[in-house]
C-alpha cells in the first residue's frame, strides 16, 4: 500500500507576547487587586498537554510577587495521579512544574473542605489549601470535553468543580452520568465561586497547531457567560481529520498529554459511555493504537476506544491510575482492553482482515496520525486522498512512500524520535 504524507492547514492565530498578554489580563481584574498586600494566592495547575503552561504559570507568579502577594501552586486534577497527594505532585513535575521552576511552594493534599450543598442537592468540595488562601486564580485551557456537550465543557468551571474538588468532587460530578455533567459542573462551580476566595480565572485557547492563541482573564461576575463565549472560539480553532469516514485509523501514540481520554473522542467519533449516543458525523470502522506516551505514566484511560493495539502498549499500562480514573468518571468501557498482538505489523494485519475477505487493500481508506492532538501532518492512502473536499480542507502533499515494516514495527512515523 502506498501512502502520502500531507500537511493540513488550520486557523493559525497565535500570541507572540505571552508575558505582555498575561500582565494586561491580570491588571484588569479588580477583585485580584482588592486583596491586601502579602495575601496568599493559590494558583491551579494540572491539566496536561497545554503548550507554554510553564511560562504562563511563571509569568503569573512573577506578576503576583511584584504586587507583594504570596502565590503558591495547588494541583487541581480531581482523581488523577492515582488520587494521592504525592502522585499529583509527580504529575506536575513531569509537566515541568516544580517548586524550583516556579519559585513558589506546591501545596498538595487530597484533603477537602465541604463548601455546602447546591439547590440540586449536590455537595461541593474544594481543596483545603486553596480554600484557606486569601485568593484563588483558576488557570486552565478551554476546549471541547470528551464526554458531553454544553455551554461549558473542559475549562475553568471544570477545574473548579472537578480539579479543585479532588477525588470527592470529581466523583459527585460524574456520579449521575455524562448526560448530567454540564448541569453538575455549572451548579457546583457557581456555588464554589460564591463560597470561596476564587478571584478570577485565566483561560487559555490553543489553535489547530497546538499553539497558544488566546489568554483571557475572566472575572467571577461574568464567569460562565465568558467561558461559553471562549468555548465557541476554541471549537472554531479545533483541528480535525480531513475525512469523516475511514476504514482504518492508526494512532501512533495515545496518552493523557494528548487528551484526557488518551484519544480525543471529538476527533475519532467514539464515546463508549453507557447512555450516551455514539456520534454519527464521524465513522471510523477500525482504530489501532500503537503505543502509550511516557507522559501518561501508565494511565491508559481511553484504551477501550481502540479496536486493536500492541503488547508493547498493554505492558506499559499501570492499572491503578487507569482504573481509578475510570471508576471516578464511571466510564468503565473506556478502559476495557481491545484485541492486541505481539507486533504492530500483526495488529495492522488483523485490522485489515477484520474489514472482510473481499476488501481490496489498495482501496482502503487509511490514515495514520501521531496522536489525536497534532493533526497538521498525517499519512493518508491514495483512496482517501482522492476523497478530500479541497474546498473545505486545505493541504499540501509532501511525499509519497510505501507502507513498510522493520522488525514488526511500522517504519515511517510522524512522531519525533521514531
Q: Compute CA 164 distance to the chain's CA centroid, rounded to the nearest angstrom.
A: 17
Q: Which pLDDT score, from 0 to 100, does residue 82 have? A: 79
- Residue 153 near residue 182 (C-beta atoms within 8 A): yes
10 Å CB burial of residue 271 (0-12, 13-18, 19+) is buried
CA gap 299, 92 in Å, rounded: 15
Specify which residues 205 forms β-bridges with: 214
CA distances from 295 to 64, 97, 323, 385 (A): 30, 13, 17, 32
pLDDT at 299: 94
Domains in the chain and their CATH numbers? 18-237 (3.40.50.11440), 240-410 (no CATH)
Residues 19 and 31: beta-carbon distance below 8 Å: no
Task: State the pLDDT at residue 293.
Answer: 96
**What pLDDT is stored for residue 178 in this prediction?**
83
Set of cell numbers at residue 140? 486552565
pLDDT at 418: 56
In the chain, the largest separation of any two C-alpha atoms, in whole Å, equals 74
Give the β-pairing of 377-381 and 366-369. antiparallel
Closest by CA to 378, choosing from 360, 361, 362, 396, is 396
Please give the pLDDT value at position 195. 98
Q: Which pTM value belongs to this model?
A: 0.87
Q: Is 127 left (phi over 0), alpha (psi -120 to 50) or beta?
A: beta
pLDDT at position 300: 97
Per-residue confidence (pLDDT) for residue 164, from 0 to 100: 95
Low-confidence residues in the chain, pLDDT < 50: none
Q: What is the pLDDT of residue 417?
A: 65
128's grid cell: 483545603
* Whole-number Å distance between alpha carbons of 281 and 266: 10
Residues 118 and 124: beta-carbon distance below 8 Å: yes
Amino acid at each position: 500500500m502506498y501512502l502520502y504524507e500531507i500537511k493540513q492547514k488550520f486557523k493559525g492565530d497565535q500570541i507572540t507576547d505571552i508575558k505582555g498578554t498575561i500582565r494586561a489580563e491580570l491588571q484588569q481584574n479588580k477583585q485580584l487587586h482588592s486583596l491586601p498586600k502579602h495575601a496568599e494566592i493559590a494558583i491551579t495547575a494540572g491539566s496536561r498537554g497545554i503548550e507554554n503552561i510553564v511560562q504562563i504559570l511563571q509569568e503569573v507568579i512573577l506578576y503576583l510577587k511584584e504586587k507583594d502577594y504570596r502565590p503558591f501552586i495547588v494541583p487541581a486534577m480531581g482523581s488523577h495521579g492515582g488520587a494521592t497527594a504525592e502522585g499529583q505532585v509527580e504529575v506536575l513535575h513531569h509537566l515541568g512544574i516544580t517548586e524550583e521552576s516556579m519559585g513558589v511552594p506546591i501545596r498538595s493534599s487530597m484533603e477537602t473542605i465541604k463548601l455546602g450543598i447546591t439547590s440540586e442537592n449536590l455537595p461541593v468540595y474544594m481543596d483545603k489549601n486553596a480554600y484557606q488562601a486569601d485568593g484563588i486564580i483558576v488557570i486552565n485551557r478551554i476546549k471541547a470535553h470528551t464526554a458531553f456537550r454544553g455551554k461549558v465543557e473542559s475549562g475553568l468551571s471544570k477545574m473548579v468543580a472537578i480539579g479543585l474538588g479532588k477525588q470527592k468532587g470529581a466523583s459527585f460530578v460524574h456520579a449521575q452520568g455524562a448526560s448530567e455533567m454540564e448541569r453538575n459542573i455549572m451548579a457546583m462551580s457557581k456555588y464554589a465561586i460564591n463560597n470561596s476566595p476564587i478571584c478570577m480565572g485565566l483561560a487559555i485557547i490553543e489553535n489547530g497547531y497546538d499553539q497558544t492563541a488566546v489568554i483571557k482573564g475572566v472575572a467571577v461576575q461574568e464567569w460562565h457567560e465568558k467561558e461559553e463565549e471562549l468555548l465557541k472560539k476554541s471549537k472554531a480553532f479545533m483541528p480535525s481529520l480531513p475525512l469523516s469516514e475511514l476504514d482504518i485509523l492508526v494512532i501512533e501514540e495515545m496518552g493523557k498529554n494528548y487528551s484526557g481520554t488518551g484519544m480525543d473522542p471529538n476527533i475519532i467519533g467514539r464515546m463508549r459511555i453507557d447512555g450516551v449516543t455514539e456520534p454519527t458525523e464521524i465513522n471510523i470502522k477500525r482504530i489501532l493504537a500503537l503505543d502509550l506516551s511516557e507522559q501518561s505514566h501508565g494511565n491508559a484511560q481511553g484504551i477501550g476506544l481502540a479496536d486493536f493495539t500492541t503488547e508493547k502498549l498493554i505492558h506499559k499500562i499501570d492499572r491503578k491510575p487507569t482504573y481509578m480514573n475510570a471508576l471516578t468518571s464511571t466510564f468503565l468501557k473506556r478502559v476495557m482492553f481491545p484485541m492486541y498482538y505481539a507486533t504492530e505489523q500483526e495488529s495492522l494485519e488483523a485490522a485489515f482482515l477484520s474489514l472482510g475477505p473481499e476488501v481490496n487493500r489498495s482501496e482502503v481508506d487509511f490514515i495514520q496520525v501521531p496522536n489525536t492532538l497534532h493533526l497538521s501532518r498525517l499519512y493518508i492512502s491514495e483512496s482517501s486522498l482522492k476523497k478530500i473536499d479541497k474546498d473545505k480542507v486545505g493541504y499540501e502533499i509532501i511525499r509519497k512512500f510505501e507502507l513498510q515494516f522493520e522488525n514488526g514495527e511500522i517504519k515511517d512515523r510522524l512522531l519525533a524520535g521514531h
